[in-house]
Structure 1
Amino acid sequence: MSDEESSDVVRRERFSGGPARGFLSSLDSDARIFRADLQVDRAHVVMLAEQGIVEESEAAEILAALDDVEQAGHADLPDGEDVHAAIETAVIDRVGPVGGKMHTARSRNDEVATCLRYRLRADLLALAESVVAFREVLAEAAESHAETVMPGYTHLQPAQPTTVGHYLLSYESALARDTERLLDAFDRTNRSPLGAAAFAGTPFDVDRERVAALLGFDGVVENSTDAVSARDFLTETTAAAATLATHLSGVAEDLILFANKGYVDLSDDYASTSSIMPQKKNPDTLELVRASAGDASAGMNGLLTTLKGLPRAYNRDLQRAHDHAFDAVDAVREATEVAAGAVATADWNADALEAAAGEGFSTATGVADLLAMQGIPFRTAHEIVAEAGESGGDLAAIEAAVADVLGGDLSEHVDPDAVAAALDPARSVASRDSQGGPAPDAVAAALDDVAAAVADAEAAVERRREALANAEDRLAAEVSTHV
């Protein structure tokens, strides 16, 4: 192959050399969208043939060449400014000038925007699938520990007793919203920019909806300038990933602290030992899960900074935008799977948790609530219990505080047996049976809702995945009729 044959068909001899050649090229990083570009090329060529813009025989040559390029792989592409130009060059190398008709009625501006959306939607589904799987893990562990009493904290101080099941479901709730955000991002990503050309449309009689359907998109990005300019699908994806990573970081931090206190024992598969201190069992994988929030938030900041203040339509800055989103999705998906594995294999120390559940007079709020239920103003009840806490927070201390604040015996205001029950962490938890509360019955009801929600989420991911797979089959069938 001569140097002239292998040169970039976009630039030819103009602007093709110089010290900035490598700086301009994105060919290596474009490996991720290599197959997406081929699929976009195929759909575009099929449409061109159907619309009579290229001859059937020309379409057949181009489509056959694209198959050959795919078989050879990204590594075999000729040098080029990007994967789009390199593929076009490779097609022309195989079939001659007719290969240049592949680029009729489009620009690299709408082409790259379409390729990014095509690839990203698959990554979004993969990440959503990992999140749903983690939700299942959390629900299973919560069901096993619906009655395992544990200390609850605010400001890292003992606050109120709760259960491991209720605690774990708090993260399931957060991940449920993460799932919704990812699927929403998928739905807005799943629109085709192709046919917008450089930004001002094309005089050719293209069928944008046909190409969108062949590629499995739900429709088109209507305005041609918006179609090539828009990268908010990247920001939405990266924001969803960063929010998810923040939740994962919280899970990781909690488990690290609980392991430190002896409340939970992490599997050896999710821990390591020291290089010098053989007694150590370190929660290293969870520390890296925690760090993934930094990767994702950095990607969010980098992406927004790249996009901020760009003039409308295409600017080369956009070449640097999408890696932030893809890197964030990759990092967070791996962190999700590791966090799920750590939770699934963790061993909760029920005895240690129960012993710690009442520390720091954590049942104080329950006692104050009990007094308020007897008609004592809550602020007065709060004062009584606070005073009792200074004297140890036991039944005797409460009796003394009641006598001091209200006068008379405790029994004149509330049943002492009820107060004793409120001081017990397990019975305190059982009393808080409001919707979404930690009482075992409330957790059981929540688990029923979670099971239904997880099943719905699994079905939602699968519907979208099946739609993409069916579109691939349809495109392959259409290509076969033109080759």
Structure 2
Amino acid sequence: MSKREEWLKKDGATFPGNTYVECLLKPVFNYQRDNLFSAMFQVHRAHVLMLCDRGILSTEQTARILDAVERVAVCDPAVLRYDSHFEDLFFMMEARLTEELGADLAGNMHIARSRNDMGVTMYRLTLRDQLLEILDVLTDLRESLLEVAGEHLETVMPAYTHTQPAQPTTLGHYLLAVQDVLTRDTERVWAAFHTVNQSPMGAAAITTTGFDICRDSVRKYLGFEGIVENSYDAIAGADYLLEAAVAIMMLMTNMGRWIQDLLLFCTREFEAVKVADPYVQISSIMPQKRNPVSVEHSRSIASSATADAQAVFTMVHNTPFGDIVDTEDDLQPHLYRAIDKAHRVLKLMNAVVSTLEVNRERLMKRAREGYITITELADAMVREKKVSFRIAHRIAGLVVKKACQRHLKLDEVSPELIKEASREVMGSEITFTEEELKKICDPVHFIAVRKCPGGPSPGEAARMLRDRKEKLFDDRTELQRYKNRIQSAQDSMKERIRQLTATLSS
């Protein structure tokens, strides 16, 4: 027996072959069942109602179809299993509706639509809901960051540049910065949501239809903001997937950066913060260990989410501009997994941030080390001694060098050392009193005088905190408005269906 004959004997001589079923149809069916079932029936309802509105279906036909749709829609999708009699979930449900209605009436459901516009609509409905969920947990995390930031507007800590202690700041200032990045991430997710939240229904295969339909009617029933007007674009465009993917990639990449910081802050050597007991794990052999596994897993899952989102770009890249399987059932799970992982990271980090213990004394101690207030010495020379900044910078640098050589901390530097350094740099002495030097070297003073917009001074940080809370309130209000709008559309559609199907029993 030839190799070809062996394969045909094993797989069968007609479509679908067993290998095709196992490698493609079963996985696709399971993905559709788990993600698209509800969206499919939403599209059925909206499209049939529109056909009725336009007089393409009679009221009686519409009522009978929708009655059958509701009966089939209540089945538990979790119990559905792939059946080789049907190519996918869509055809399985079509067969069930045909059993309920008969072939002619069931077939009329599909007037003026295609698997193409229906499929893209299902993807958009599902993705829309997932993005709203991301916005929900993202807003929760921002709220927690603002709450903790508000508690630490005067908790002094070192700011780092190039991984080295640079200047004093506060933990509140740092957390406000993290929240600001997440606010921009929120705006990117919103932008993706608005791109996704457009209806392609009515595009049919790719060139619309000769039937007198109303695309805007379907849009309203489904709660979309608008329609993808050009029918070719409605089917061929994949940028709504790319935009959602890039929003998730940027969100998770940004999360990963401060999550990495948090892992450093948790180390015994750094000892700046302590993750609460519910989110740490004890070693199986070393009982003294408090492993911050919740933060570690968050970093890892964020990277995994980024990888899944990147796969979306890879799969769309260099594909033809039209209806193509690359943007459909093989791609969608990558995006859904990316969003699910992002959701998990956001929720987990919200729990960690909300329960974090901060070692204020340790952070203050670190802020007094490493000569990180030396910038203020240079600034004081410019402000009070009328020295040019570059000269002041050189003097300050020499002060640090001499202090290191003599094993002095910055607050141990004497007025004589300042005189010595200034004499070497510019040939004349600069004089500060011990009291002036003590103030200049104090990280609290360093922070207090940085009142410029966006600076860490407690007053300016408090102003930023108020602004961010107002923005957060506006974002929550906007999120609820869109949730209500979508729910209202669904409720209106259900009520219309209830009224129509009620006529069958009268």
TM bracket, shorter-chain basis? over 0.9
How far is 1:474 from its partner? 1.0
Q: Which residue of structure 1 aligns with residue 336 of structure 2?
A: 326
Is it true that 1:287 corresponds to 2:287 in the alignment? no
Identify the match of residue 89 of structure 1 among 76, 87, 95: 95
* Aligned-residue offset at 1:76: 4.8
Cα distance, 1:73 vs. partner?
A: 2.1
Q: 1:264 to 1:399 in 2, by over 3 A?
A: farther
- Kept in 1, the 8 Å contact 2:153–2:172? The answer is yes
- The aligned amino acid for 1:218 is E
Structure 1 position 135, deviation (Å): 0.9
In the alignment, what sits opposite 1:50?
53
Q: Report 1:367-406 matches (<5 A).
A: 367-374=377-384, 375-392=386-403, 393=410, 394-396=412-414, 397-406=417-426
Per the TM alignment, residue 75 of structure 1 is displaced from its structure 2 partner at its CA by: 3.6
Q: How many residues align?
A: 469
1:16 is displaced (CA, Å) by 4.9
Q: Which residue in the other structure is 2:4 paired with?
A: none
Give the partner amino acid of 1:390: K
Displacement of 1:387 after TM fit? 0.7
Which deviates more from structure 2 when the two are superposed, residues 72-81 or residues 253-262?
A: 72-81
Alpha-carbon spacing, 1:367–1:83, altered in 2? closer, same or farther (3 Å): farther
Q: Of the candidates 34, 39, 43, which is equivalent to residue 42 of structure 2?
A: 39
Q: Residues 425 and 209 (structure 1 numbering): CA distance in 2 closer, same or farther, change over 3 Å?
A: same
Contact 1:110/1:194 (CA < 8 Å) preserved in 2?
yes
CA distance in 1, matches of 2:63, 2:322: 33
Which residue does 1:349 correspond to in 2? Answer: 359
Residue 276 in structure 1 maps to residue 291 in structure 2? no
Pairing 1:359–2:377 present: no
3-state SS, counterpart of residue 391 of structure 1: helix
Correspondence for 1:4: none
Percent identity, aligned pairs only, is 35
Q: CA deviation at 1:258?
A: 0.7
By how many angstroms is 1:287 displaced? 0.8
Q: Which of residues 280, 292, 304 is equivalent to 2:313?
A: 304
Whole-angstrom distance in 2 between the partners of 1:89 and 1:391: 86
CA distance in structure 2 between the aligned counterparts of 1:19 and 1:350, rounded to whole angstroms: 62
1:453 to 468, 471, 486: 471
Which residue of the other structure, out of 182, 188, 194, is the alignment partner of 2:189?
A: 182
CA 16–101 in structure 1, closer or farther in 2 if over 3 Å, else same: farther
1:262 is aligned to 2:271: yes
| Distance across 1 between alignment mates of 2:375 and 2:96 | 72
Whole-Å separation in 2 of the counterparts to 1:255 and 1:359 = 20
Query: In the alignment, what sits opposite 1:191?
Result: 198
56-65 or 137-146, larger mean C-alpha shift: 56-65
Q: Distance in 2 between matches of 1:20 and 1:63?
A: 34
For 2:495, the equivalent position in structure 1 comes to 477
Q: TM-score, normalised by structure 1?
A: 0.93
Once superposed, which parts of structure 1, at least 4 consecutive aligned residues long, lie more than 4 Å away? 13-18
Deviation sequence 1:80-115 (CA, Å, 0-9, x none): 333322221221122221212212111111101101
Tell me, yes or no, if the aligned pair for 2:249 and 2:310 is still in contact at 8 Å. Answer: no
- Structure 1 distance, partners of 2:346, 2:43, is 31
Q: After superposition, give the CA deviation of every residue in 1:373-419 in whole Å (9 maximum; x if it has no partner).
A: 243222111111111111224432333212221333322xx666444
List alignment gaps of at least 5 residues for structure 1.
Answer: 1-12
1:297-336 Cα distance to aligned partner (Å, 9 max, x none):
2122211111111112211122212112111111011101
Q: Which amino acid aligns with 1:426?
A: V
Indicate conservation of the 8 Å contact 2:112/2:202, yes or no.
yes
SS of 1:105 mapped into structure 2: coil
Q: Which residue of 1 aligns with 2:450?
A: 432
Kept in 2: contact 1:235–1:325 (CA 8 A): no
- 1:122 Cα shift? 1.3
CA distance in 1, matches of 2:95, 2:420: 89
Distance 1:22 1:57, change over 3 A: farther
CA gap of 1:82–1:398, structure 2 versus 1, over 3 A, is: farther
Q: Distance in 2 between matches of 1:399 and 1:36?
A: 77
| Structure 1 residue 147 corresponds to structure 2 residue 126 | no
Cα deviation for residue 57 of structure 1 reads 2.2
Matching residue of 1:408: 428
* Offset at residue 216 of structure 1 (A): 0.2
Letter in 1 for 2:424: D
Q: Which amino acid aligns with 1:473?
A: D
Question: Please, which of 438, 447, 464 is the counterpart of residue 420 of structure 1?
Answer: 438
- Which amino acid is the alignment partner of residue 27 of structure 1? F
1:3-29 CA-to-partner distances (Å, cap 9, x unmatched) read xxxxxxxxxx98455642344422110
Cα 1:75/1:293, change in 2 over 3 Å: closer
> What CA RMSD, in Å, does the superposition of the two structures yield over aligned residues?
1.8
Corresponding letter in the other structure for 2:30: D
Distance in 2 (CA, whole Å) between partners of 1:366 and 1:86 is 73
Note closer, same or farther for the CA distance 1:88–1:399 as it changes in structure 2 (3 Å cut). Answer: farther
Aligned match of 1:21: 21
Distance change >3 Å, CA 404–CA 46, structure 1 → 2: same
Alpha-carbon distance in structure 1 between the residues aligned to 2:395 and 2:88 = 73
| Per-residue Cα deviation, 1:14-49 (whole angstroms, up to 9, x for no partner) | 845564234442211012111011011100011111
Deviations along 1:39-78, whole A, 9 cap, x unmatched? 1110001111111222322222221121112211224557
SS of the residue 1:240 aligns to: helix
- Which stretch shows the higher mean deviation, 162-171 or 68-77? 68-77
AA paired with 1:407?
A: G
Unaligned residue ranges in structure 2 (runs of 5+) = 1-12, 404-409, 502-506
Distance 1:146 1:176 in 2: 19
Shift of 1:420: 2.7
How far apart, in 1, do the equivalents of 2:433 and 2:459 lie?
A: 25
Per the alignment, in what secondary structure is the counterpart of residue 402 of structure 1? Answer: helix
Matched, 1:73 2:84: no
